[in-house]
């Protein structure tokens, strides 16, 4: 695996990236990360509370990385989609994995839960990004998880049942991506063919 920021010859959806470590514009992400950190501090209690979800993850520890990616995507996609307005009474709430496993959630909550599940299995944070995209087909915002794996990027999406190589997806335009180390603004790369 390569560090995401070192993968200059294979950028996310062929976009140009500008990296920043200033998380000030991302209060919801910072809040979710803080809540995740607190959940990790009391991991044994978390494991008891969410045994149904963590036992399958623990069973993946000795599997190869691609199997782990596929199984985490499949496991988390079993959760019910629930809009933030219904769950939290507000239009946009970024849930921690514990909140997601307790009440489920919407697209960024799936992406965060998958991010933390893979981190739990040993994937480094700098090999993963939660990505805010424009869905060009549906004309709406969406969030997915990108995992930088070997020489490509795997996309874990609650709207697609299987994990997909990012080079096969044409209907998403990334706006920004983020992990615990940095965030990236994305712009169309004029030197990369779009067809």
Residue 86 has pLDDT above 50, yes or no: yes
Which residues touch 141 (CB under 8 Å, ≥6 apart)? 132, 133, 134, 135, 175
Residue 190 has pLDDT above 70, yes or no: no
Supply the pLDDT for residue 10.
59
Task: Kindly indicate the confidence band of residue 107, based on its pLDDT and cuts at 50, 70 and 90.
Answer: very high
Residue spans per domain, the chain = 4-188
Supply the pLDDT for residue 191.
57
Specify the CATH number of the domain 4-188. 3.10.620.30
Tell me, rounded to whole angstroms, the distance of Cα 158 from its chain centroid: 10
Two tokens, residue 174: 């990334």
Residue 9 has pLDDT above 60, yes or no: no
From the list 159, 144, 151, the residue with the least C-alpha distance to 112 is 144
Local structure of residue 8 (DSSP, 8 states) = T
Q: Tokens 């062929």 sit at which residue? A: 14
Q: Tokens 């697209």 sit at which residue? A: 107
From the list 152, 157, 149, the residue with the least C-alpha distance to 131 is 157
Two tokens, residue 93: 């709430």
pTM: 0.89
Supply the pLDDT for residue 185.
96
- Sheet (strand 15-20) strand order: 15-20, 183-188, 172-178, 128-135, 140-149, 152-156, 164-165
| Model confidence pLDDT, tens digit, residues 133-157 | 999 999 999 999 999 998 899 999 9
User: Can you tell me the mean pLDDT for 94-101?
Assistant: 93
């Amino acid at each position: 695996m390569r560090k995401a920021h070192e993968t200059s010859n294979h950028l996310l959806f062929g976009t140009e990236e500008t990296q920043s470590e200033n998380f000030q514009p991302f209060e919801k992400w910072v809040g979710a990360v803080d809540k995740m950190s607190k959940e990790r501090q009391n991991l044994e209690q978390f494991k008891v509370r969410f045994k149904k979800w963590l036992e399958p993850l623990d069973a993946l520890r000795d599997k190869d990385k691609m199997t782990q990616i596929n199984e985490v995507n499949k496991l988390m996609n079993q959760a019910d989609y629930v809009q933030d307005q219904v769950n939290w009474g507000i239009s946009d709430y970024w849930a921690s994995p514990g909140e997601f496993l307790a009440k489920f959630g919407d697209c960024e909550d799936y992406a965060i839960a998958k991010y933390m599940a893979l981190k739990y299995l040993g994937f480094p944070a700098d090999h993963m990004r939660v990505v805010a995209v424009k869905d060009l087909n549906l004309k709406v915002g969406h969030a997915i998880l990108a995992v930088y794996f070997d020489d490509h990027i795997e996309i874990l999406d609650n709207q697609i049942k299987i994990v997909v190589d990012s080079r096969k997806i044409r209907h998403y335009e990334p706006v920004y991506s983020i992990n615990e180390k940095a965030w990236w603004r994305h712009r169309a790369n004029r030197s990369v063919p779009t067809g």
